[in-house]
Amino acid sequence: MTLTEKILARASHRESVQPGDNIWIDVDVLMTHDVCGPGTIGVFKQHFGPNAKVWDRDKVVIIPDHYIFTADKMASRNVEVLRQFAAEQNIKYFYDVGTPSYKGVCHIALPEEGHTRPGEVLFGTDSHTCTAGAFGEFATGIGNTDAGFILGAGKLWVKVPETMRFIFHGTLPPYLMAKDLILAVIGDIGCDGATYKAMEFDGDGVYALNIEERMTLCNMVIEAGGKNGVIAPDKVTLDYVNARNAGQKPFTTVHSDKNARYCFEKVYDVGKLEPVVAKPHSPDNRAYVSEIRGTKLDRAYIGSCTGGKLTDFRAAAGVLKGKSVRIDTFVVPATSEIMAGLKRERINGQTLEEVFLSAGAKLGQPSCAACLGGPSDTFGRLNGPISCISTTNRNFPGRMGHKEARVYLASPLTVAASALTGVITDPRDCL
Ligand code: SF4
């Protein structure tokens, strides 16, 4: 069996499963946030009763993160619904807005707060829940109906996916990041290339990446239609997980069998790849930066669960250090822990925050901010038909605000290099 099949077999109390099997699986963690939480709670109450209790209050994690720093009344009401539900159900892990426990973007908050463990099953009411596959678990996004059912029953009916394997060999050059690797994969197989498939990443090029970069790889499998992304755990994974594991919960690491069956396999030599951009209006609309360099831009955006981690900001700050941006540049840390890192980590004596501010960038508060557009007062939102280069994960029309805006997806290195020139720029010109 593959790693994904083994996790699903365990969660269904079977010796083995095969792709295509429909099985009930036990859920280890269910995450929801301010956009889908109210709907999920509504489904739960409708079907399990107004006074029903969740199946396990320690396995429900509620993380408001999307529409947070806005005057929009409906957005505030969503958070209030979460607040009431968390109090009524005595939910242990609720990272409320305006309190010291506020975190920011759920997919980064989950591992930081110790809710991701190898071998487990994590569902979340958000398509980028697949990010947590970087910890060697089965993690995927679901809708409100499924999540409402899990709240009451702690189980879900799933079909076992086939697994595709992507092997990265070689040493990543300093001008490339995990974002380039996953954009290259999506460009190769297309937005529907992995529909309802597990995407397993392997090879020395993957295991040389730090845990945040591995999260970036798994984060964007959904942009290829993948059911889940997964990387078998190694010492890097275990060091991270053991340092944070909420409640010191025991877990079992799982690896694919040597003779596991894959429905597809592709091998990449990372030393031969080039910086990649996804042009408007689809993540699979790939171009190499060298092909479209010089394309005029109005804005740069560095943030989100894909490109708003400390590794992303270290890379961007390395490019911006001592220089000035030529276009509006927005910097949004994914979580409060990353925000603290921006104030702590230094390059040549300057904190990362100082590097960004002295380069002329604007720094926002930890949240999804403009990644999903949001209300019109959202920090960094594209409120006009402008061109933006962004470290986020989607560039469909209207995704970051205005439906005629043009969004180019790229690595933090490419976005920072382009912020300095105002046109799409190859990071090799700046490093
Ligand atoms: S940062 Fe963007 S992609 Fe990530 S959870 Fe928030 S809205 Fe979704």
Q: How confident is the model over 195-216, as pLDDT tens digits?
A: 999 999 999 999 999 999 999 9
Exposed, middle or buried: residue 244 (CB in 10 Å: 0-12, 13-18, 19+)?
middle
pLDDT of residue 67: 97
pLDDT band at 431 (very low <50, low <70, confident <90, very high): confident
Is 105 a pocket residue for ligand 1 (Cβ < 6 Å)? Answer: yes
d(CA 352, CA 309): 12
Q: Whose CA is nearest to atom 2 of ligand 1?
A: 371
How are the residues of the chain apportioned to helix, strand and coil, as percentages rounded to the nearest 5?
Answer: 40, 20, 40
C-alpha 243 to ligand 1 mean position (Å) = 25
pLDDT of residue 385: 98
Is 126 a pocket residue for ligand 1 (Cβ < 6 Å)? Answer: yes
Cis peptide, bond prior to residue 281, ω within 30 of zero: yes
What are the distances in angstroms from CA 314 to CA 142, 168, 317, 332, 416? 32, 23, 5, 13, 11
Helix spans in 59-114 (H)? 73-89, 106-112
d(CA 40, CA 145): 6
Ligand 1 mutation pick, 219, 301, 368, max ligand atoms within 8 A of CB: 368
The fraction of the chain above a pLDDT of 90, given in percent, is 99
pLDDT (tens digit per residue) in 379-423: 999 999 999 999 999 999 999 999 999 999 999 999 999 999 999
pLDDT (tens digit per residue) in 21-31: 999 999 999 99
Is 304 a pocket residue for ligand 1 (Cβ < 6 Å)? Answer: yes
Nearest atom in ligand 1 to the alpha carbon of residue 303 is 1
d(CA 362, CA 343): 14
174 has pLDDT over 90:
yes
Enter the DSSP assignment of 189: H
Task: Tell me the three state secondary structure of residue 26.
Answer: strand
pLDDT of residue 121: 99
C-alpha 371 to ligand 1 mean position (Å) = 6
pLDDT (tens digit per residue) in 285-322: 999 999 999 999 999 999 999 999 999 999 999 999 99
pLDDT of residue 305: 98
pLDDT (tens digit per residue) in 73-121: 999 999 999 999 999 999 999 999 999 999 999 999 999 999 999 999 9
246 has pLDDT over 90:
no
Q: Are 275 and 414 in contact (CB under 8 A)?
A: yes
C-alpha 374 to ligand 1 mean position (Å) = 11
336 has pLDDT over 90:
yes
Ligand 1 mutation pick, 182, 305, 312, max ligand atoms within 8 A of CB: 305
pLDDT band at 194 (very low <50, low <70, confident <90, very high): very high
Is 305 a pocket residue for ligand 1 (Cβ < 6 Å)? Answer: yes
State the Cα torsion 337-107-265-167 to the nearest 10°.
Answer: 0
